[in-house]
Structure 1
Amino acid sequence: MTNHDDPITIVGAGPAGLACAILLARGGRRVIVHERRSDVGARFHGDYQGLENWTGGFNALEELASAGINPSFRHWPVSHLTAFDPDGETHEMRSDEPFCYLVRRGPGSDTLDHALLDQALAAGAEVRFNSTMNRLSSPGVLATGPPRGNIMAVGYQFQTEMAEGQWLAVSDELAPGGYAYLLVRDGHGTVACCMFRAFHGSNHHLQRTVAFFTNKAGLEMQAPQHISGAGNYGIPCRGEHEGHLLTGEHAGFQDALAGFGMRTAIRSGVHAAYSLLGGGDYEALWRHSILPGIRQSISNRLIYARMGRRGRRALVRRIAAGDTRAGLSRLYRPHLWGRMLYPFAEFSGRMPQKDPRCCHRICTCVRCRCSH
């Protein structure tokens, strides 16, 4: 716990950093947030993303509210989704309660990022944009996002007159190791492929994704804007380094199976704030509430990577056969078999992804992670 008179520095104005700033400022601490970009959410472009609602056994929005964060951002509950298995067959996924909430990410006024910024400023936090911190002279919070990339998403944000809906395709032909999706709400849409390997073929996979959803869902795009982004999952081993608390993707707090990390990022920011306010040990907090789910997702990733086309077809059918939220909850809930597989998944997860088409002998680019 820091001296109450010292300002607390937070590096990064993403969901984890801003959640931490909100609670610290409301707790009476002086908070300075440094963001190297000119606005919050600058990695994104108003594209739709999913705030998952199937882990933890309770509603995601209620979790935010109970932590003291107002879910004032625009959100759309999703209880129905049309999924396509690797053979292109259609499966309708439904649940009694939302299995996720669509939110918009980016610098726009109705995005999750700006809603958190407004709350941080209203609480009294100071946010400095275009401010880069190479070294902290006092204890603080590091929330700078993914240090390396092993998830890549490319797509388009667009305007459209097509009907609202959500579509998901599980196919290596569209998104190697991952999935492709189409989300449409209020005349705006996002189509993208989320890849876990073969990043150098991203443009090819994106064009195949657009053609697929044009054929299967009647995709119509007006004024499309290209979007792309990288994410990071890994084996989280510590939540503190040289006196600084690590949060969000900077600490490796990310879903390894599908890349749903917003809820976990915000949760880690909340835990960091509680710790700095004297509410508990940060290491104990994240290891209790975050680590078990991440380890299960890493085991899930190992199974998914090796189950093949038939196995993935069976997985889609199984989730669609019952209540989707309940099915996803069972998939992500820590299990004995997940703990048994974890040592093998941990070893696999530490291996860098290599792309034989990379032209560099020692490559450190975010796209292929060839560096040792």
Structure 2
Amino acid sequence: MMAPVPDHSAASDDQIEIVGAGPAGLVCAIVLAKANRRVTVREWHKDVGHRFHDDFQGLENWTDAQDVLDELAEAGIEADFDHSGLTEGVVFDSRARTHRVHGAKPLFYLLRRGSAPGSLDRAPLAQAQAAGVEVRFNDRVTATSGNMILAGGPRRADIIAVGYVFDTAMPDGAWLAFGPELAPKGYAYLLVNEGRGTVASCIFTGFRDQAHYLAATVSYFERHAGLQMQNARGFGGFGNVRLPRTAMQGGNPVIGEHAGFQDALAGFGLRYAMRTGQLAAESLVRGTDYSRAWRQSLQPGLSAGVVNRFMFNRTGARGLDYLIGKLGANDTRSVLATAYRLSFTKRLVLPLARFRYREPLKDRSCDHVVCDCVWCQHGLHDPSGV
């Protein structure tokens, strides 16, 4: 995609415009507004959370020793969205044997995405507006300006999740399963909290066959986790994975999935998104180098994720079962933290992993012609967009 021609007349010298009202853009806006900057957020959809359907997602809590909610608090972001810290769950191996995973601290925080009250998307919008941020909806940006931060969300689909949100009488819990029959190169998950649930297949290839994998996932969790769904509503989402070199476009910082900031292994990108929003805001307030800031803060973990994905693509069922056993035998949060450290060995593997990790994920099943996959139906395919 060709970069838009900068339009330096679009914003005044002391006004900062943010393109996109997702978590990355809104966190960035809040930090800037609390530093007494004039901020306008421009969102081309009619509301926040347009890509989501009140489905559960996880805000990971293992890539840094600091709790993610404390990290947000230090940035001036209140955790006033609905959330629940999960310290345990169940992972099924290739033989459907259960392994209980656990952590002394939350492995992740369960939260909801979408436009409903209490969601991760609605709550920071209210915080931004209370801080004095102007948020404009139905405002499509087609050219960049000199005082602009780009937070427009994923520009392609490397991952898609397809599933159901539903009501249920099941007890609370979190279940995870692997297998090419459920989610090729990915995983299937079931999350239940206070009578609501989300079940999905998170797939990294084979997008055109998403309905087949979702049906297999539902059947699997019905057999092995006692899945019970009432009032099921279908949903789909997609994510973009890329290890950027600068995260700058036309002299403007690019944050969140717009830059490709995403965990290459599991697709947990919310923490990266919000942290890049904070880092971009601080770079403008302090006059520092945004590229240097995100590289110091995020690049080691992102690079480890690329190596993890490269290794996962080449791991068979027996190797995966061994790794699942390790997760269950130790404090899972500590095991995951170690997995996302860029060790000496991973540094050696990184050049090959960066060159090869995406190759098995190229989705040749979808030619984008008469296709109903999530990306074809809902993705941003307009090359003129910022």
**Shorter-chain TM-score category?**
over 0.9
- Partner amino acid, structure 1, of 2:149: V
Instruction: Map 1:221-240; keep pairs closer than 5 Å.
Output: 221-240=229-248
Q: Take 1:145 and 1:86, find their aligned partners in 2: how far apart are those partners? A: 34
| Cα pair distance change 1:83/1:351, threshold 3 Å | closer
| Cα pair distance change 1:290/1:4, threshold 3 Å | farther
- Partner amino acid, structure 1, of 2:88: H
- Partner amino acid, structure 2, of 1:71: A
Q: Is 1:12 the counterpart of 2:20 in the alignment?
A: yes
Task: Please report how far the alpha carbon of residue 38 of structure 1 lies from its aligned counterpart in structure 2 after TM superposition.
Answer: 1.0
Q: Which secondary structure state, in structure 2, belongs to the residue aligned with residue 290 of structure 1?
A: helix
Which residue of structure 2 aligns with residue 59 of structure 1? 67
| Identity value in percent | 48
Task: Please report how far the alpha carbon of residue 357 of structure 1 lies from its aligned counterpart in structure 2 after TM superposition.
Answer: 4.1
Which residue of structure 1 aligns with residue 384 of structure 2? none
2:256 corresponds, among 248, 266, 270, to: 248
Q: Which secondary structure state, in structure 1, belongs to the residue aligned with residue 145 of structure 2?
A: coil
Q: Which secondary structure state, in structure 1, belongs to the residue aligned with residue 342 of structure 2?
A: coil
Q: Is 1:26 the counterpart of 2:26 in the alignment?
A: no
| Cα pair distance change 1:292/1:123, threshold 3 Å | same
Structure 2 gap segments, 5+ residues each: 1-7, 382-386
Q: TM-score under structure 2 normalisation?
A: 0.91
Task: Please report how far the alpha carbon of residue 28 of structure 1 lies from its aligned counterpart in structure 2 after TM superposition.
Answer: 0.9
| Cα pair distance change 1:334/1:131, threshold 3 Å | same
Q: Is 1:282 the counterpart of 2:279 in the alignment?
A: no
Task: Please report how far the alpha carbon of residue 236 of structure 1 lies from its aligned counterpart in structure 2 after TM superposition.
Answer: 1.2
Residue pair 2:167, 2:195 contacting (<8 A) in 1 also? yes
| Cα pair distance change 1:325/1:359, threshold 3 Å | closer
Q: Which secondary structure state, in structure 2, belongs to the residue aligned with residue 223 of structure 1?
A: strand
Task: Please report how far the alpha carbon of residue 309 of structure 1 lies from its aligned counterpart in structure 2 after TM superposition.
Answer: 1.0
Residue pair 1:54, 1:328 contacting (<8 A) in 2 also? yes
Which residue of structure 1 aligns with residue 165 of structure 2? 157
2:340 corresponds, among 332, 338, 355, to: 332
Q: Take 1:194 and 1:341, find their aligned partners in 2: how far apart are those partners? A: 26
Q: Take 1:118 and 1:33, find their aligned partners in 2: how far apart are those partners? A: 13
| Residue range with higher mean Cα deviation, 131-140 or 92-101 | 131-140
Q: Take 1:350 and 1:68, find their aligned partners in 2: how far apart are those partners? A: 36
Aligned length: 368
Which residue of structure 1 aligns with residue 5 of structure 2? none
Q: TM-score under structure 1 normalisation?
A: 0.94
Q: Take 1:334 and 1:257, find their aligned partners in 2: how far apart are those partners? A: 14
Which residue of structure 1 aligns with residue 174 of structure 2? 166
Instruction: Map 1:155-194; keep pairs closer than 5 Å.
Output: 155-194=163-202
Which residue of structure 2 aligns with residue 264 of structure 1? 272
Residue pair 2:101, 2:332 contacting (<8 A) in 1 also? yes
Q: Is 1:294 the counterpart of 2:302 in the alignment?
A: yes
Residue pair 1:95, 1:325 contacting (<8 A) in 2 also? yes
Q: Which secondary structure state, in structure 2, belongs to the residue aligned with residue 277 of structure 1?
A: helix
Which residue of structure 2 aligns with residue 348 of structure 1? 356
Q: Which secondary structure state, in structure 2, belongs to the residue aligned with residue 82 of structure 1?
A: strand
2:53 corresponds, among 31, 45, 53, to: 45
Which residue of structure 1 aligns with residue 329 of structure 2? 321
Task: Please report how far the alpha carbon of residue 87 of structure 1 lies from its aligned counterpart in structure 2 after TM superposition.
Answer: 1.8
Q: Is 1:68 the counterpart of 2:48 in the alignment?
A: no
| Residue range with higher mean Cα deviation, 44-53 or 163-172 | 163-172
Q: Take 1:30 and 1:154, find their aligned partners in 2: how far apart are those partners? A: 39
Q: Take 2:39 and 2:368, find their aligned partners in 1: how far apart are those partners? A: 42
- Partner amino acid, structure 2, of 1:268: T
- Partner amino acid, structure 2, of 1:137: S
Cα RMSD over matched residues? 2.2
Q: Which secondary structure state, in structure 1, belongs to the residue aligned with residue 114 of structure 2?
A: coil
Q: Is 1:210 the counterpart of 2:208 in the alignment?
A: no
Residue pair 2:13, 2:147 contacting (<8 A) in 1 also? no
CA-to-aligned-CA distance 1:254-292 (integer Å, 9 cap, x gap): 100000000010000000000111252111100100111
CA-to-aligned-CA distance 1:133-161 (integer Å, 9 cap, x gap): 01123331000111111101000001111
Task: Please report how far the alpha carbon of residue 85 of structure 1 lies from its aligned counterpart in structure 2 after TM superposition.
Answer: 0.9
Q: Take 1:279 and 1:178, find their aligned partners in 2: how far apart are those partners? A: 40
- Partner amino acid, structure 1, of 2:204: F
- Partner amino acid, structure 2, of 1:110: G
